[in-house]
Amino acid sequence: MREQYQFSLDSVQVPHLETKHRRIVTAIPSPGTRELMERIARVESSNAMDQLPVVWDKAKGYQIFDPWGNCWIDFTSTIFVTNSGHAHPHMVESLTKGLDKLLHSYSYPTENRACYVEKLIQFTPPNLQKASLLSTGTEASERAIKLARLYGMKSNPMRKVIVGWDDNFHGKTMGAQMAGGLHEQKAWIGYHDPNMVHLPFPYPWVIEKTDLSGAELFQHHLKGLEGKGIRLEEIVAFIVESFQGWGAIFYPADYIQAMRRWADEQDVLLMFDEIQAGFGRTGRLFAYEHYCVNADVVICGKGISGSIPLSAVLGRADVIDLDPAYTSTHGGHPLACTAGLANIEIFERENLVEESKRKEPLMRAELERWKRRFPDRIGRILGKGMIWGIFITKPNGGDELDPVFCDRIIERALQKGVFNIRTGLGTIKIGPPLNVPDDALIEGLRVIEESISELVTAG
């Protein structure tokens, strides 16, 4: 079992500080934080007690504020929802106006729904011709799975096999977890769909130990499926998490390109899960664009709205139209459409995709310097654009990750005014809003570096 670290819920006196971008004026956690977390835990089944001990009172731009005067630089974008920043003035203005008109409309036609979907299709790659609107990422994954199965059954009722990858994540509902590759999370289902199969993820540390190119490895993986009795002609779709979120781990480009060629030859759908990868996070609108391939289906969520719940499945018209009677109670909610449209307008006005790309070398230079400074504690730096994974290793010269030491770094940075994502796997995952100012970005990174240095020195 993986060793767990428990963030302290007892207030600790820490140096007070105030800069242009962060402020700590109380003990951390702030007095009252533990009590609120315990109130939530008493009445809600949640992981509140495992979260970073900060009470969110307000968030603006790239900053998080608690009720007691503290302010953190946000390196999470609330897990990649607020790519365009927290409470962007244009977002707030648009939603405020929307509140006066419609608070619900089911699937009935509305002007803002039409405007939003037209803009969404215009904003995204040209081969994505239609959309299906939903509320959450896992719903969008389920929708994509259904559409893929319907696509296969048009030509052959037995053509139902969907191929995923070990350790990929597509959501927490039944179908999404079946398609995902976190196998220990599926025990509750009590059933294995024989038409959901998985390939080994082509981790860089695995490929480095072989003489295979990415394209050759893909062919090797197909042969492995045949060896398990899978009939390749019954494959209808690949569902690909564009990168693995816990460490910003991308596929080799030639692996995906070989998959695209094979899919074209076999009339197989290539579906990319862009729920956390999309909307500028990697320096491209969608992360799959780094592989220089087209997608047949794109699963969107999180950053698609920049705020309130919205998700979508985008794709070829002949795929999206396979289930025309589909409706969703909250999918395409009028406020969600308003938020989605405002989000695209912010992206266009502030050129946020290009901004993410511009900041990549700034982040890479800082993080590679960390690796040189702490060679026995940082094993790898992976990422693109504004998503990075720092692999924290045990100080034994090997590749074994150190989740406990990693969480201690995150806790120390929190005490200094930087709020990070906790993966629990030994990686520091960094993903600020795309419009974070350069000086705030560098300041936040150097706070993490300072935290690593202090803990390494302390032993």
Average pLDDT over residues 1-18: 90
In this prediction, residue 51 has a pLDDT band, given cuts at 50, 70 and 90, of confident
Q: In the predicted model, what is the mean pLDDT of residues 421-433?
A: 97
For residue 376, which of 353, 357, 395 has the smallest C-alpha distance?
Answer: 395
Mean pLDDT of 271-279: 99
Question: What is the average per-residue pLDDT within 276-287?
Answer: 99
Residue 438 has pLDDT above 90, yes or no: yes
Contact status, residue 61 vs residue 435, Cβ threshold 8 Å: yes
Q: What is the dihedral of CA 378, 168, 248, 202, to 10 degrees?
A: 70
Length of the chain: 459
8 A C-beta contact, residue 407 and residue 331? no
Cβ burial of 400 (10 Å; 0-12, 13-18, 19+) is exposed
Weakest-pLDDT range from 113-127, 184-198, 242-256, 281-295: 184-198
User: What is the per-residue pLDDT for 128?
Assistant: 99
- Nearest Cα to 55, choosing from 21, 9, 16, 88? 9
Taking 60 as the threshold, does the pLDDT of residue 49 lie above it? Answer: yes
**Mean pLDDT score of the chain, rounded to an integer?**
97
Residue 397's pLDDT is what? 76
Buried b (16+ CB within 10 A) or exposed e, 252-274: bebbbbbbbebbeeeebbbbbbb
**Is the CB of residue 70 less than 8 Å from the CB of residue 23?**
yes
| pLDDT at site 2 | 63
Model pLDDT, residue 4: 81
Confidence (pTM): 0.97
Domain spans of the chain, in order of start: 1-7+58-80+355-431+447-459, 89-350
Give residue 248's pLDDT band: very low, low, confident or very high (50, 70, 90). very high
Identify the pLDDT of residue 1: 53
Determine the Cα angle at 364 with ends 361 and 370, to 5°. Answer: 145
Confidence of residue 118 (pLDDT cuts 50, 70, 90): very high
Contacting residues for 297 by C-beta, under 8 A, at least 6 apart: 144, 147, 148, 237, 269, 270, 271, 272, 313, 314, 315, 316, 319
Q: Is the peptide bond before 29 cis (omega within 30 degrees of 0)?
A: yes
Q: What is the pLDDT at residue 326?
A: 92
Residue 238 above 60 pLDDT? yes
pLDDT for the residue numbered 48 = 78
Residues 371-390, mean pLDDT to the nearest whole number:
98
Fold of 1-7+58-80+355-431+447-459: Aspartate Aminotransferase, domain 1 (3.90.1150)
Among 77-91, 301-315, 395-409, name the one with the lowest average pLDDT: 395-409
Tokens 């062919």 sit on residue:
219
Is the pLDDT score of 305 beyond 70? yes
- Cα 367 from Cα 248, distance rounded (Å): 14
CB 267 within 8 A of CB 259: no
Sheet holding 427-430, edge to edge: 378-384, 387-392, 427-430, 421-422
Q: Answer whether CATH 3.40.640.10 is correct for domain 89-350.
A: yes
Q: Is the model more confident about 242 or about 155?
A: 242
What mean pLDDT do residues 450-456 have? 99
Q: Which long-range contacts (CB under 8 A, 24 or more apart) does 382-385 make?
A: 382/204, 382/247, 382/248, 382/249, 382/250, 383/248, 383/430, 384/243, 384/248, 384/250, 384/282, 384/283, 384/287, 384/290, 384/360, 385/280, 385/281, 385/282, 385/283, 385/284, 385/356, 385/357, 385/359, 385/360
Which tens digit of pLDDT belongs to each residue from 345-366?
999 999 999 999 999 999 999 9
Q: How many CB atoms lie within 10 A of CB 137?
A: 27
